Each structure stands twice: as structure tokens, then as C-alpha cells.
Amino acid sequence: MERLNSWIARLVFVFLYLPIAALIVYSFNSSEVSYRFDGFTFRWYAELFRDQMLLESLRTSALVGVIAAVLATVIGFLSAFALVRLRVKGRAFFVGAILIPLIVPEIVLGVSLLTVFSSAGLPTGIVTLVLGHVVITLPLATLVLMGAMSSLDPSLSEAATDLGASPWVTFRRVLFPLLRPSILAAFLLSFTTSFSNIVISTFTAGVGTTTLPLRIYSTLRTGLTPELNALGTLLVVATLGVILLVGVAQMRRILAGPRP
Amino acid sequence: MNKKFLAFGAVALASATVLSACSAGGDASSTGAAGSGSLSIYAWAGEIPDSVIEGFEAETGIDVTVDTFDSNETMISKLAAGNSGYDVVEPSQYAVQLMVERDLIAEIDKSKLEGFDNLAEKFVDPSFDPGNTHSIPWAWGTTGILYNEACTGAEVTGWADMWNPDYAGKVYMLDNMLSAYIAGLQVNGLSATTTDEAEIATATDSLLEQKPLLGGYNSTNYADLVGTGDACIAEAYSGTTAAKAVEANPDVHYIIPEEGGTLWTDSFSIVAGTANEDAAYQWLNYTLRPEVAALVTDDASLASTNAAALELVADQSQVENPAIYAPADSLTNSEFIVDPGDALAYFQDGWTRVRAS
Amino acid sequence: MVDVNTPRTSRAAGYLMLLPAVAVITLLVIVPMVVIARDSFAVSDPLGGNLGGFTLDNYAKLLDPVYAKTLGYSLGMAALNAAVCTVVGYIVAYYIATRPAKTQPVLLVLVIIPFLTDFLVRTFAWITLLGSGGPFISLLRLLGVEAQSLVPSQLAVTLSLLYAFLPVAVFPIYASMRSIDPSLKEAAADLGAGWWQTHARIFVPLSASGLASSVMLTFVPTLGVFVIPVLLGGGKDPLVGNLIVTLFTEFRNEPLGAALSMVVLVLMLLSVAAAGLILRARSGSARAGRSRSPKKASAV
């Protein structure tokens, strides 16, 4: 059974990269239509680098994604810590409140956020985009971190305290290292959620801050162009490349000997 | 100690790479046009070719920012919230009516315009904006039928073919209320701009009757579906997508249905209370020039509203292509789809029933 | 600050730590929701304006069976998607959590990388893959099977929804599973528990909060999905999210859209509350079963 589980999981990874493989193949397709492969070309990559509007929207999305994900992860961490590790009263109430954005249909949240921002005199732009994205990513980050904290063994921090460690040392040396992968999970989930959001961005973007998904969504009427396949390919390949590089460096450090 | 943070760093690094790779290009465009004012345009994606923007920036030194929207309604709600920061918008015909009534766009001072008489007759004094007081049409098209002859096995002539049971499961309608009702009304010999409750009810019945035959409602990739033959026949807008589909597959044809033609047009309007009025007028005048207007056909495969531009289009086969420029004889009794006003409620009730059936 | 021995100071610190979240939620969620709740009782004009005033007409209109039908269909789709995603998410999360500590972050990142490509671009890649010119159909035809395009089909919708929501299922389950003591698994094996038993008795109960999060995060957002059903399912059956978008945009009827949103909101709040109650009962027993110092377990 254990082996079957592993095989299914590996198949899921294949499943995840199947469309990416198609994307890569079609990014070199010289035909303008996606249903036919006519021949090999670099044309779409050339067009991609000429498309200033698309590249600027990519920059906007990356910027908003990083800021929103950092904010959501930090706020989510603080909230999860308070809710799970400390004896805060009214826990159910706070959890419920943080989860509301998940329940509200996005268009409703978007429309009403626009109303609120405009009556507050806040012009739409990067700031409103970030605020909108923090709202929808906060529940994700909080849930992931709450899950991580609630299954931590409480005896670990108790043992540390019993051994005379101060609360801060306990946190830094015991809890934080245990939670690190989950913090990473929360950040990644928040980043990709922000990076791919369409509806909230529609209502919170301003002059010159069209995000990448907004830009792509608006081109649907005239059809998606193959240069988007080229962009997708570059994003995936670049990230994989960086991870590979970092992974190699990591291996070296491990081989060089144990760290302090 | 930081091994897991490395993966974290990997993502941050990747984002940073992306950021720096793009910022170089982004900054170049904004420093290029220093100090001669700016213009923010909110438009349909793919309707303003880069060549038009670059030409305008080079000539005037005005820094242009273009943002794109996916529907008139989202554009209107952004403007209605106030303080949008946009100077020029590109509403479709019925959206012009709505924006005029809600005071979102400013009246155009004709004395400041040059080249207004370049517009084709159909777009001067149109039904949706009498006297062109608030809008200068830029691109136009029709709502018709895209079909794959290898799949239908016969020539398609009108809306009635979209009710043909032989094509069951391979008929696609546009996922848009007013567009769907064009077919529903005209197939019954009714006007596409009717506001009569009984006529709209007749159309609703036809659309309900059609639904079991449908492969689906689709406003996005219907042209690809027709190209592969997954769809035999689809309601379609003329323009970039239809032109591409016709070009890619000799079996694919775009026609204006014999029951009647309907027009859409997207126009430039000046946002009420804009801070860059001069730049906005410069934009209107620049885009009224025939050689500039011709670029919408050359670079975006869309029909230009500018009569003087037609002979300047570099590739004249585009002007002959019915998927871009509908033949004049099929447009004799064609109308603009305008806002139905109070009759909107009849359409909505009917459409809700059709979609949920 | 983290001192479990002085509940009062730690509780005060807790409230302080909750402050940013409370501020965000109050200003950016509660206030907008009050605006929407107010709008749901407003009178609309055909131009899309909001005339204010007070009426119950919007809610009365929702009694039309058309809305109940759409809502029912949406809930069914959402339940199916939540179940599929959570089961697959559990399998993947378990796989990741049982790898060596060094590979776990790499695998997590591998799960998320495909999502750096745009959602629509990915969806179109699926259409290409499953469509009549794509590899699946070509392969079937090569084998002599007469196959129709898989788009539009319910299968294509389900696959594509799983694809879109898999990370939000994997991550919370992984996070809650990660800290399960591996010695428990060995102990279970020593006691002769099979794979199913080990999971049913240990892993599932101990990762209950992650599983609940996964269900939440996949169930509710499915209601708002509108691109996938159109592109891969033919768009003949709208989901409730689709309907709300139509009401707000094409129908220019913000008050009616607001009323429908309020109905969805209340339904969802009720189901979340119900899930919370069930979870509390479950996690209470799980915690008691695991903790080595049951007396202090409540501090967690």
C-alpha cells in the first residue's frame, strides 16, 4: 500500500507537469492556432520580449505577489500563533472572522472593496492591489500555519522551558525550525494565489498597474497568443533552474560538513 | 541552519530575476518621453496596436499608459467609482449610451477635432450617440456565423442553420445575453433592437428550443473549436479571432446571416473631468488620421471606421476579407446593437431561464 | 512572550498578535460586507445605478426555482471537487511528508511551480491536451478506438478543477501532517497495524485540521469558478459564482447580485460553523490520544 501511495503521488507530479510540457512544445509552434503543430520557431520568444505591456504587467504581478505574500505570511503567522499556541479566548470567533474572505464570492468582495477604497479617497494602484490580495491570501496562510502549529507536539516547547530556555529561545531554537517548511508552504500558496488572481485585481488595479492575469484575461476576446506559452515556459524553466542551482549549492554545503 | 530557507530564497530569487529582467524595459519607455505630459487610456485588449501608441508618443512626446479591460461593465464600474485616473476610454456602442446617462464621459468639442470627416458615413451620427457628441468610433465589426464546411457538409447561410438538429452537440452560441438574442430574434424575422415584450418572449422560446442542440455557450475559444471541427457552427464576432480561424483552415468560413446583420463598434471617449484634456484631444486627432487608422487593420486585423483609411491598408486582401470587413451589400439593413433601456428586464428574465434550463 | 506558565501575559500578547489580522478583516472585509448587505436591500435602476432605499424585492426574486437549481448544481460540483482534491491532496501530502527532510521543501516547490504559469494559459494547455487534435485522442485513435474530443465533458471539468485546486489541498494537509511523530508509524507497524489501519487510526485523525482546511479551501472557491466550466464543460450549466458575475456585470443589477451573495454567504457560514463543531469534537479526541502530557494539552 505504501508503495502504491508513492506511485500515485509520483503520477500526480506527472499530471502537474503535463500541461507544462504541452506549453513548452507549443511555445515553439510556428502555427498561430493551437490545435496544429506546423514547425519549429523562436518567433514567440522574440515577440514576448518586444511586448512591453505584457512584461510590465508581469513586473506588477511579481511585485504585488511578493509584498502581499510576505504580509499575509507574517500576519497569518502571528494570528495562528495567538490562536493555537496562546490561550486566546474567543478562538472560534477569530478563526471565523479570518475565514470570511474565503466564503465571500470574489466579485462581491472586489466590487465592495472598490467602493470602500474610493470613498476613503485611496486611488487604485499597487497599494489597493496589495490590500486586496492580502485579504484573500490571509486565510490561506493562516489555515496552513494553524494546521502546522496545532499538530506540533506541545511537550517539545515544555521540555525546552523545563530546561531553562527563555520563551524567545524556545521559539527560535525549537518552534521556528520545526515550522519553517510550513512557513514556506504558506508563503508559496499566498504568492501563487496573488500571482494568479483575476477578479479582485479587476477592481483594485489602477492606471498602469494591470496585472499579468488581467492582461491575459482581457486578450481572450481576440484569442490567446502563443507568446503566452513562451512566457509560461520561461517562468517555469527559470524557477526550476534557480531551484536546481540552489539545490546543488545546498548539497555542497552538506557535504562540506555539519553546520553549527 | 538555513537549509529550508534556501528554497524560500529560490522563489524570492526567481521573482527578483523576473523583476529585474523586466524593469529594464519598463523604465526605458517611461524615460523616453520626458516631461511632455501623460495620457492614460483604458481600452479593449488588442484594439490599439503598439504601432499607434509608439507613433503617438514619438510625435507628441506624451507618455501613454494603456490598461486593458475584458468587458464594458468592469470598465464602467471602475469609472463610476470615481478617481479612476483614466483620460480616454474605449466603450462599445451600448456602453457609450450608459456612460453618457451616468455622466462618466465628457462632451466632445468638435471645434478641437481635425479629420472628423474621415469617418465612414455609418459612424457619423450613429443611433447610439446622435451627433457623435461623446464618442469617436475607432474599430467595428459584425456578429455573424463561423462554420466549418467539412463538418456541416453544406454551405451555411443564416441563423436557421444554428437550429439544425444535424449539428446537435456541435453548435456553439456566444456566452453573452444581447449577442445570443441577436440570433434568437433574427431567426424569427424580428428586429435585433426590439424592445417589445412579446417579441423578446418569442426569442426566448427559440433559444430554449435550441439549448439541447448546443455544445455550449462560449465567447472565448469558439474559433479554435470551429477550426478543429469540435464545433460545426458557432455564433461569432468578426475581427482578429475570426480572421485568424479563416486563414488557418480553408474549410472555415465567416458569414453575415441572411436574416440580417448587426454591427458593433468600439469608440474613443474622453473621461469626464480628465486632467489631461489637451492630450486626450491630441489622441482623438491622431487616431482620426487615415494612415493611423489603417494600422488597426494592418496590425490588429480589425475593421477601421475611417473611410479614408481603407485604401491605405497595406494588405488589401484584409479589406476584402468578410471576417474583418463585412461586404457592403450584406450591411444594407444592418443595425447597431443598442442599449435596450427598460426592456433589459425582459431580456434578463428570458436569459436567466435559458441559462438555467 | 511564549510563556505557557503565565496565561495572563501570554493571552495579552495573543490579542496583540491578532491585531493586524483583525484590522485587515475589519477594514477590508467586514466594512465591505456591510456595504453589500446594505446594497442587497436597495432599489436598482436599469442603468446599473443604485438608488438606495429599502426593498425586499431582491430576496423575493431569488425564490425563483432557477436560482435554487443553480445553487444545487454548484454545491454538488463543489462537493465533488472538494472530495477529489482532498483525497489526492492527502496522498501527495503523505508522500511529501514521508520523504527525507531535505527533499521536502524541494517537493513542495515542485508542486507550486506549474502554478507560476497563468491560469488561463494552463487551462488552454488542457484543452489542447484533451481536445480532438491532442495526444490522448490521437493515441486512442492509433489504437483503433473511435474517440470523440474530451472537451467539453464532465471529466475534463473534474480534471481541470483538480489541477487548479491541488496546491490548496496539499499544503494544509502537509503542514498538519509534517509534525506527526514518525515513531508513531513504526509503533503502529510493530503492533501489526496495516497500512489502512495506520492511516485511519493515526494519520487521518492527527491531520484532521489540515484535512478540514483542505475541504474548506477547495469546496467554497469552487462555487465561484467560472472559466473552467465554460472552457472545458461547454458552459451550459452555470455555477452560482458565474451567476453572480452576470448579475453584477451583464445585468447591471448590483442589488440583486448582492442579495444572492448574501444568501451564499449565510449558507457557507452555516456549513463552516457545522464543520467547525464536528472538527472540534474530533480534534479534541485526537489531541487527547496523542499528547504525552494530557493535562497540559489544552494549552496547545
In a domain, C1, yes or no: no
| pLDDT > 50? residue A258 | no
In a domain, C22, yes or no: no
Q: What are the tens digits of pLDDT across the range C102-143?
A: 788 888 888 988 888 888 888 888 888 888 777 888 888 888
Kindly report which listed range (A67-76, B42-51, C220-229) carries the lowest average pLDDT score.
Answer: C220-229
What's the CA gap between C190 and C36, in Å, rounded?
57
At B221, list the grid cell.
475559444
C151 touches chain B (CB under 8 A): yes
Residues 6+ apart with CB under 8 A from B215: B169, B170, B171, B172, B225, B230, B231, C152, C234
**Which residue from C104, C127, C235 is facing B175, i.e. has the nearest CB?**
C235
Chain C residue at shortest CA distance from B229: C132
A with C: how many residue pairs have Cβ under 8 Å apart? 341
A108 touches chain B (CB under 8 A): no
In a domain, C34, yes or no: no
In a domain, A221, yes or no: no
Average pLDDT over residues C47-51: 73
Q: Which chains touch C (3 or more CB pairs under 8 A)?
A: A, B
pLDDT at B133 (0 to 100): 97
- Distance, in angstroms, between C294 CA and closest chain B CA? 32
Residues A72 and A104 occupy one common structural domain: yes
CATH code of the domain in which A57 resides: 1.10.3720.10
What's the CA gap between B123 and B29, in Å, rounded?
34
What's the CA gap between C297 and C300, in Å, rounded?
6
The helix-helix angle for C31-39 and A106-119 (nearest 10°) equals: 100
In a domain, A219, yes or no: no
Residues A76 and A149 occupy one common structural domain: yes
DSSP string for residues in B280-339? HHHHHHHHHSHHHHTHHHHHH--EESBGGGGGG-S-HHHHH-TTTS--GGGGTT-EE---
CB contact under 8 A, B217 and C48: no
Query: Is the CB of residue A86 less than 8 Å from the CB of residue C13?
Result: yes
CB contact under 8 A, B342 and C46: yes
What does each C-alpha distance from C287 to A181, C206, C244 come to in angstroms? 22, 8, 41
Residues of the domain holding C49 = 40-299
What residue spans define the domains of chain B? 1-25, 26-138+266-316, 141-263+331-356
CB contact under 8 A, C108 and A92: no
pLDDT at B141 (0 to 100): 94
Average pLDDT over residues A126-130: 96
What does each C-alpha distance from B219 to A216, A236, B112, B224 come to in angstroms? 15, 29, 38, 11
CATH class for domain B26-138+266-316? alpha beta
CB contact under 8 A, B17 and A238: yes
Chain B hits for C133, CB-CB cut-off 8 Å, are 228
**Which residue from A74, A87, A131 is facing C10, i.e. has the nearest CB?**
A87
Residues of the domain holding A208 = 52-214
Q: Which chains touch A (3 or more CB pairs under 8 A)?
A: B, C
CATH code of the domain in which C196 resides: 1.10.3720.10
At B43, list the grid cell.
481600452
Dihedral angle sign, alpha carbons of residues B198, B200, B201, B202: positive
Instruction: Tell me the pairing of strands B335-336 and B233-237.
Output: unpaired
The count of domains in chain A is: 2
In a domain, A257, yes or no: yes
pLDDT at C292 (0 to 100): 40
Q: What are the tens digits of pLDDT across the range B19-72?
A: 444 444 443 343 333 447 899 999 998 899 999 999 999 999 999 999 999 889
CB count within 10 Å of CB C168 equals 24
In a domain, C221, yes or no: yes
- Grouping H, G, I as helix, E, B as strand and the rest as coil, residue B33 is coil
In a domain, A46, yes or no: no
Average pLDDT over residues A108-122: 88
pLDDT at C200 (0 to 100): 83
Distance of CA B97 to the CA centre of its chain: 16
**Which residue from C11, C28, C291 is facing A86, i.e. has the nearest CB?**
C11
What's the CA gap between B277 and B225, in Å, rounded?
44
B227 touches chain A (CB under 8 A): yes
CATH of domain B141-263+331-356: 3.40.190.10
What's the CA gap between C147 and A172, in Å, rounded?
59
A250 touches chain B (CB under 8 A): yes
CB count within 10 Å of CB B212 equals 12
**Which of A5, A70, A86 to probe the C interface (max C CBs under 10 A)?**
A86
Task: Give Rg (Cα) of chain C.
Answer: 24
In a domain, C15, yes or no: no
What's the CA gap between C134 and A25, in Å, rounded?
12
Question: Which 126-155 residues of chain A touch chain B by CB within 8 A?
Answer: none
What's the CA gap between B120 and B305, in Å, rounded?
6
- Distance, in angstroms, between B351 CA and closest chain A CA? 21
The count of domains in chain C is: 1
Residues A86 and A145 occupy one common structural domain: yes
C77 touches chain B (CB under 8 A): no
Residues A79 and A158 occupy one common structural domain: yes
pLDDT at C124 (0 to 100): 85
Query: Is the CB of residue B89 less than 8 Å from the CB of residue B42?
Result: yes
| pLDDT > 60? residue C298 | no
Question: Which 42-101 residues of chain B touch chain A by CB within 8 A?
Answer: 44-47, 50, 65-70, 74, 77-78, 81-86
What's the CA gap between A183 and A180, in Å, rounded?
5
- Distance, in angstroms, between A172 CA and closest chain B CA? 12
Residues A109 and A18 occupy one common structural domain: no
In a domain, A141, yes or no: yes
Instruction: Tell me the pairing of strands B214-217 and B171-173.
Output: parallel
Query: Is the CB of residue C4 less than 8 Å from the CB of residue A55?
Result: no
pLDDT at C281 (0 to 100): 67
| CA atoms within 13 A of residue C237's CA, in its CB half-sphere | 17
What amino acid is encoded at C32 in this protein? Answer: P
What's the CA gap between A177 and B83, in Å, rounded?
47
| pLDDT > 60? residue C299 | no
pLDDT at C282 (0 to 100): 60
A204 touches chain B (CB under 8 A): no
pLDDT band at C10 (very low <50, low <70, confident <90, very high): confident
Average pLDDT over residues C43-71: 85
In a domain, C24, yes or no: no
**Which residue from C49, C149, C231 is facing B220, i.e. has the nearest CB?**
C231
Looking at this predicted complex, what is its ipTM? 0.82
pLDDT < 70 stretches in chain B? 1-35
- Distance, in angstroms, between B244 CA and closest chain A CA? 8
Chain B residue at shortest CA distance from A243: B10
Cell 481603407: give the residue: B310
CB contact under 8 A, A124 and B78: yes
Question: A185: part of which helix (H) or strand (E)?
Answer: helix A176-196
B24 touches chain A (CB under 8 A): no
What's the CA gap between C141 and C174, in Å, rounded?
40
**Which residue from A31, A221, A250 is facing B44, i.e. has the nearest CB?**
A221
pLDDT at B22 (0 to 100): 45
Q: What are the tens digits of pLDDT across the range B141-153?
A: 999 999 999 999 9
In a domain, C195, yes or no: yes
Q: Which residue has the higher pLDDT, A8 or C118?
A: A8
CB contact under 8 A, B353 and C127: no
pLDDT at C291 (0 to 100): 42
Cell 485611496: give the residue: A122
B180 touches chain A (CB under 8 A): no
In a domain, C158, yes or no: yes
Query: Is the CB of residue B293 less than 8 Å from the CB of residue B304?
Result: yes
A246 touches chain B (CB under 8 A): yes
Q: What are the tens digits of pLDDT across the range C282-295?
A: 655 545 444 443 33
**Which residue from A36, A114, A221 is facing B77, i.e. has the nearest CB?**
A114
The DSSP letter of residue B175 is S
